[in-house]
Each structure stands twice: as structure tokens, then as C-alpha cells.
Amino acid sequence: MLKSVSQWLPLIGLAFFISSCAKVGPQIVEVRGNTMGTYYQVKYVLSAEQQGDSRLALKALQSDIDKRLELVNDQMSTYRPDSELSRFNRAEKSLEVSAATRQVIEASLTLFEQSNGAFDVTVGPLVNLWGFGPNKKANKVPSEELIAEKQKIVGSQYLSVNGKTISKAIPELYVDLSAIAKGYGVDVIADYLQEVGINNYLVDIGGELRLKGEKPQNTPWIVAIERPAEKQSVQRIINVGDNAIATSGNYRNYFESDDIHYSHSIDPRTGKPISHKLVSVTVINKSSMLADGLATAITVLGPESGLAFAKKYNLAVYLLVKEGDNISEYYTSEFIPFFIEEKK
């Protein structure tokens, strides 16, 4: 017996030596949580060297991510009464706010101008009027008089940024950044990951994504565009590269009255739900904030005007349009490089 054990000892030692010398490969770490009324998910790749860095461990990184997202909520949430945005909405004329809030509002004002008013962060009173606001009691068509009355207090032309202050020309103006703030939050987290040396990641807040680099074994991050249908299915598979991607869908949140379909997407220029057949918009951009806002703007503009808008500004945009019983796709030339394979 002793002879047998002594014969195995060199082999055990050799196995331990080989194991200890084996190269540790890159590892994917995943962090999940809740923010802005939805979920967030962050996947990032750590090299062998980074796996020994306590600052990049799951709990430490999640703590830093949560702090940054909490700050965005404290700045731009309409559900927090003490947020910067809530205090501005209660103010008569103006409020000094953070550089972050000013950045998002300035981007919103640019989109408002470029889209000829299709993207408007002051549309909240009309959204609430149609029953798609926080109470979500969408089942009644408001009168033309009520619509006209609400339109009097809607319009980003009444909103401005002056130095460190945001101002409104009418006291009733109400700003809601939900159509662009999630994208901004994605950018905040992506920029933070790069600051700490993580260059391969996927950041997802409620379906708004920003990606960079690759997964282990040089595998790209792959994104699926959903096909609007009762059952979930995939329309396209794309490789986004080092970019952000946002999709705005117009086929789930609606109500019907007298056999008329009323979408949750409100056109601030008419005060009414959009009535065209554009059901899904996907935008790829370096900035998640801009991709988020652009997807909403194009959804309101509709298939023809939206595609013309995308071509004017050289945007990578993909549209799905309901035509009879079929779903047709339209896209700009800038979107083509992201397709993994042509649709059969």
C-alpha cells in the first residue's frame, strides 16, 4: 500500500503544478437591478489580471453602478418629488440644475427642433389626458376642446437653458424626460465602465443598450430585433459593434374605442395618438441618449417622414411597417453594415 501511494504522489504533484500554471481566461460577470421604473442589466468581461482587482468584483461594481443610477433618478425622475426635474415642474419660472439635467434637456431641445416638434418632452399633459400616464386608464377619447386646452400648456418652445438654469415661459409647463433619460443612464454606466478599465461590456436599461468590445473567445455581442406579433419572434439579428441601440415599439400599449385603435404614442403637434402604420423603430448611434430620443421622434413622425428625417441626418435607422397583413422593413444605408445576414 505504501508503495502504491508513493507511486501516485509524483503524479498528484505534477497535476497540481499543471493546474496552478494553467492560464485563467477572461470571465463574464453579470449585474442586475432595478432603476427608472424598469430593470437594468450589465454584462462585462474581466481579464485574468482584472479578476484579482477587488474594485471590479461584482458587489463593488454593482454598488458603484447603483449610486450612479440613483443620482440620475435624483436629477431627472418625475416620480421623486425632490428630484431636480420635479422641483422645476413645480417652479414658476426657473431652477438651477446639474450639468447632467441640462445636458439631457439641451439634447431634447435639439431633437425638438430637428423633428419639427415631433419629439417634445413637455407632451405629458396630453399623454395623461389620453389615459397613458401614471394612472394608465386608457379607454376614453377626450373631446376636441379638452385636447385644445391641454395643447396650450405643451411645447418645448416654452423651455430653455440659460447657463446653469433651466427656464419656462409658462408656469404650467411640465417636463418629462422618460423618452430620453433611460438612454442617458445607459451612457453614464458605459462611460463609468470604461473609466475603470472595462472595455468589453453590454449595458441594458429597460431595452436601451450600449455595447463595446466582445465576449470571450472573440465572440461579438449579438442583438435581436423583435418582430411585432402576438408571440415573440425575431425579425433580424444584428451586430451593433461599439454603439448604442434603441427600439421604440408601437404595438403593445393602446386602447380601442368604436373599433378605432389608439396608440400610446402621442403626436404633440396634433394632440392625438399617431395613426400611421409604423410599428417599430430601431436606431443605432454612438450615444444611447440620442438613440433613445431619436427612436421616439421617428415613431411620431411615421414611416415616410421618419425615413426622410433619418436620411437627412445620416442616421442608422431600421423601420417595421404594417402593410395589410404583412410587416415590411425599411432602413437607411447606414444601417446595412450591422446586419449579420440578409433576411431570407
Binding site for Mg(2+): residue ranges?
179, 292, 296
Instruction: Give the helix ranges, DSSP H, for 142-180.
Output: 144-151
Q: Provide DSSP, 10-54.
A: HHHHHHHHHHHHSPPPPEEEEEEEEETTEEEEEEEEE-TTGGG-G
Cell of 323: 402593410
Name residue, grid cell 503524479.
11
Whether the CB-CB separation of 127 and 135 falls below 8 Å is answered with no
Cell of 223: 442583438
Paired strand residues for 318: 282, 331
Say how far apart CA 137 and CA 257 lie, in whole Å.
Answer: 13
Residues 37, 42, 44: CA angle, nearest 5 degrees? 175
Instruction: Give the helix ranges, DSSP H, for the chain.
Output: 2-21, 58-76, 84-90, 99-114, 124-129, 144-151, 181-195, 288-301, 303-312
**Cα within 13 Å of Cα(322), Cβ side:** 14
Paired strand residues for 211: 202
Say how far apart CA 92 and CA 173 lie, in whole Å.
Answer: 9
Contact partners, residue 59, CB within 8 Å, separation at least 6:
none
Q: Known binding site: residues?
A: 179, 292, 296
Whether the CB-CB separation of 270 and 154 falls below 8 Å is answered with no
Say how far apart CA 9 and CA 2 lie, in whole Å.
Answer: 11
Kindly compute the dihedral angle of the four CA atoms of residues 66, 105, 320, 269, in this order, to the nearest 10 degrees: 140
**Cα within 13 Å of Cα(249), Cβ side:** 12
